[in-house]
Structure 1
Amino acid sequence: MRILVAEDQPLIREGIVRLLEQAGMTVEAVRDAVSLRERAEADPPDVVVTDIQMPPGMGDDGLEVALSLRRSHPQVGVVVLSQYLDDRYALDLVGDRADGVGYLLKEKIARGEVLVDAVRRVADGGSALDPDVVARLVGRRRPVDPLASLTPRERETLSLMAEGHSNAGIAQKLFVTVPAVERHVTGIFTKLGLQQTESGQHRRVLAVLRYLDA
């Protein structure tokens, strides 16, 4: 797996590179958004891991490149790291598809397995959204809640789906069996009107988008 890391702070950059290399990944690192765009366009990696704010503008330069790559190279997974929780960034990044994307708070990646797991999920076409980000997005309630028909357990299941967990991972989190999770997932699909003609993975993505949009 080839990873392109973009981070302007040397210690953080070196730490991320070391974590991913120890997990058996091939890693290249750059220091600014211009280099990120050039390297990613010239030889697209499997996953880009990028900070939001970085040179040359020290604004949302990293996020802008990530959004551009999502449009021009949809096969490239993108994991964005943020110093602060900002639901605008998450909504822009997810857009109309929740596959191959991750949004993590920097404070959480001190636990190396969090970043490694997120990169692997995103590389496989899944999502890896920080639980705090999901909670913030879900807090943006609308007058009509399209998820009103879901049971509390189905909502818990869908929340964990939004974080990128597999059925087995959800079962472990909720202390239930995998078949029980599968029943909840089926119930979610049915209540959200997601037809069986769609693939299971596609329906998961659509369900997550409905959840975040709610």
Structure 2
Amino acid sequence: MRVVIAEDSVLLRTGVQRLLEDEGIEVVAAVEDGAALLDAVREHRPDLALVDVRMPPTFTDEGLRAAIEARRLVPGLPVLVLSQYVEERYAVDLLVGGASGVGYLLKERVADVAEFVASVRRVAEGGTSIDHEVITQLMVRSKRDPLDSLTPREREVLGLMAQGLSNTAIAAEMTVSDGAVEKHVGNIFSKLGLEPSTAEHRRVRAVLTYLGRT
């Protein structure tokens, strides 16, 4: 796996690079701002871009905007955002802008090395990894809930899907059979009006509906 890191803090950038390399993940570029991220993405076409939200020159949302642009430059580029904050506007743009390979974690999660590396691999493979706090804040921003038709059990399954868990992992978490989870997932797709499609990943669309609630 080949990764580009965009993080303005030298200590964190170096630390994350060392952590990934210790896990056998190649870091092809480690940069400090959004412009350099886009240059690195163009040059290396990495398997994943690991991006901070707030970078020079204004330290507001340059990282997220660069991540969105990077996915335009390389359609389908997996992007994992690391931040101390939940930037709601651009977080939704990033999540809705692609059908797979997106993640948004708070920086405190890096402290759990196993969890962080698992998230990196999951997103690089086209999955999702969304922090609990990010989910909570994005849900609060919505004025209406399109998920009212779901049962509490189906909502629980969808919440675990949003965390990036597979059906098997959800079954283990809920102490139910794989078949029961598959039935819940099928009901979720049906109630959210997500028909089978070769152009979209229904699982990711369901998660995005859960996050955006729009």
TM-score scaled by length of structure 1? 0.91
CA distance in 2, matches of 1:32, 1:19: 20
| Counterpart in the other structure of 1:129 | 130
CA distance in 1, matches of 2:209, 2:142: 12
| Counterpart in the other structure of 1:179 | 179
- Is contact 1:98–1:126 with CA below 8 Å preserved after alignment? no
Secondary structure of the structure 1 residue equivalent to 2:181: helix
| Counterpart in the other structure of 1:169 | 169
Moved more, 90-99 or 13-22: 90-99
Secondary structure of the structure 2 residue equivalent to 1:66: helix
| Counterpart in the other structure of 1:8 | 8
- Is contact 2:99–2:201 with CA below 8 Å preserved after alignment? no
CA distance in 1, matches of 2:199, 2:186: 10
- Is contact 1:53–1:62 with CA below 8 Å preserved after alignment? yes
Sequence identity, in percent?
50
1:22–1:177 CA distance, 2 compared to 1 (3 A): farther
TM-fit CA distance, 1:104: 0.6
Secondary structure of the structure 2 residue equivalent to 1:97: coil
Unpaired runs of at least 5, structure 2: none
- Is contact 2:100–2:127 with CA below 8 Å preserved after alignment? yes
1:4–1:96 CA distance, 2 compared to 1 (3 A): closer
Amino acid at match of 2:31: V
Amino acid at match of 1:206: R
TM-fit CA distance, 1:189: 1.0
CA distance in 1, matches of 2:163, 2:21: 24
| Counterpart in the other structure of 1:79 | 80
Amino acid at match of 2:82: L
| Counterpart in the other structure of 1:188 | 188
Amino acid at match of 1:120: R
- Is contact 1:97–1:205 with CA below 8 Å preserved after alignment? no
| Counterpart in the other structure of 2:53 | 52
TM-score scaled by length of structure 2? 0.91
| Counterpart in the other structure of 2:106 | 105
CA RMSD of aligned residues (A): 1.9
Unpaired runs of at least 5, structure 1: none
The size of the alignment, in residue pairs, is 212
Instruction: Spell out, residue by residue over 1:34-53, the C-alpha distance to the aligned partner (whole angstroms, 9 max, x if none).
Output: 22111111221000001111
CA distance in 2, matches of 1:79, 1:138: 20
TM-fit CA distance, 1:2: 0.1
CA distance in 2, matches of 1:11, 1:75: 29
| Counterpart in the other structure of 2:202 | 203
CA distance in 2, matches of 1:176, 1:123: 28
Moved more, 52-61 or 108-117: 52-61
